[in-house]
Amino acid sequence: MRIATHNVNGIRAALRRGVADWLTGVGPDVVAQQEVRCPIPALPPEAFRGYWAAYDSGARAGRNGVAVLTRERPQAVRTWGTDVVLIDPIGRRELLADDPVPLARELRRFDTEGRYLEVDLADRPLTVASLYLPKGGSPFDGPEGLARFERKMRFMTGFARQLARSRRTALASGREFLVMGDFNIAHTELDVKNWRRATKSEGFLPAERAWIDTQISPRTLVDVVRRVHPDAEGPYSWWSWLGQSFTHDVGWRIDYHLATPRLARSATAAWTAREASYEERMSDHAPVVVDYAW
């Protein structure tokens, strides 16, 4: 089973850059997408071609938006209290009235932002979630940076409880659990090319990295890519559009597969589908792909 996560940085732009052809060529069975950033009425017909797609666009025009693409119609779809659209492989749309789960207090101000969606697969005992965690800011960048940092930390505090609840609910129903997406945090020094320069930057602050520490363990959730590549630099998944960052592979690993231990142990290969050249980039993020023998 091949599963991918990809921050597409705007689905319409990504389609122009070839993301649909990439999906056809690589053939993942499940795809989590973030920053889809498209109102439902404006979705191109080919946005999710060949897949069932559960999509929460969020209420902020041109911002955020998460989706999970599957080969079969999902058995269940859950967001944080907003309606979600389900799109079939030929583009027909169905509005699903969400059955909202109890939401952690800190997350209630984020519930309409299109940051989290999870589905139960119909053909496998697996719950898959797509996450777009706020980018945040750095307290070293003055009051505005501090405010963005505190907002991100509030999200993370609530999301830690929400994540544990989703994982336990899946396991109690006989399902494995996999959360993927853009966490906007690089965990260790192996995850940032120039990590010394990044120690005061959002995404590599001590409090953010400590939060990742608390989310992963051999008994709860496993960082699948790091399990497959324990000592590798990266593999990075994000590079700035500016300068020569992509050309020289000066990147960050901020896109993750976090899986329950049994599922994580079944991973046979994991890679970042980094494009061959700057001109071929589909997004500022590259897809992160894992093959699971499960």
The C-alpha atoms of residue 267 and residue 258 are separated, in whole angstroms, by 12
pLDDT tens sequence across 137-147: 999 999 999 99
- Decide: helix, strand or coil at residue 261: helix
Identify the CA nearest to 209 among candidates 179, 254, 151, 165. 254
Whether the per-residue pLDDT at 135 is higher than 70: the answer is yes
The C-alpha atoms of residue 253 and residue 285 are separated, in whole angstroms, by 9
User: Average pLDDT, stretch 205-209?
Assistant: 98
Q: What's residue 99's pLDDT?
A: 62
Q: What's residue 140's pLDDT?
A: 95
Q: What's residue 98's pLDDT?
A: 60
Residue 94 tokens read as: 């169905």
271 pLDDT band (50/70/90 cuts)? Answer: very high
User: Average pLDDT, stretch 218-228?
Assistant: 98
pLDDT tens sequence across 13-56: 999 999 999 999 999 999 999 999 999 999 998 999 999 999 99
Q: What's residue 60's pLDDT?
A: 81
Measure Cα distances from 294 to 121, 184, 291 in Å: 14, 28, 9
Q: What's residue 61's pLDDT?
A: 74
Mean pLDDT score of the chain: 95
pLDDT tens sequence across 64-115: 999 999 999 999 999 997 779 999 999 999 998 766 678 999 999 999 999 9
Architecture of domain 2-292: 4-Layer Sandwich (3.60)
User: Average pLDDT, stretch 150-162?
Assistant: 98
pLDDT more than 70, % of the chain: 99
Q: What's residue 100's pLDDT?
A: 66
Whether the per-residue pLDDT at 274 is higher than 90: the answer is yes
Contacts (Cβ under 8 Å, ≥6 apart) of 21: none
The reply to whether the predicted model has a pTM over 0.85 is yes
User: Average pLDDT, stretch 240-257?
Assistant: 96
Cis upstream peptide for 235 (omega within 30°): yes
Q: What's residue 236's pLDDT?
A: 98
Q: What are the domain boundaries of the chain?
A: 2-292
The residue type of 197 is R
Q: What's residue 139's pLDDT?
A: 96
Instruction: Report yes or no: 257 and 5 within 8 Å, Cβ to Cβ.
Output: yes
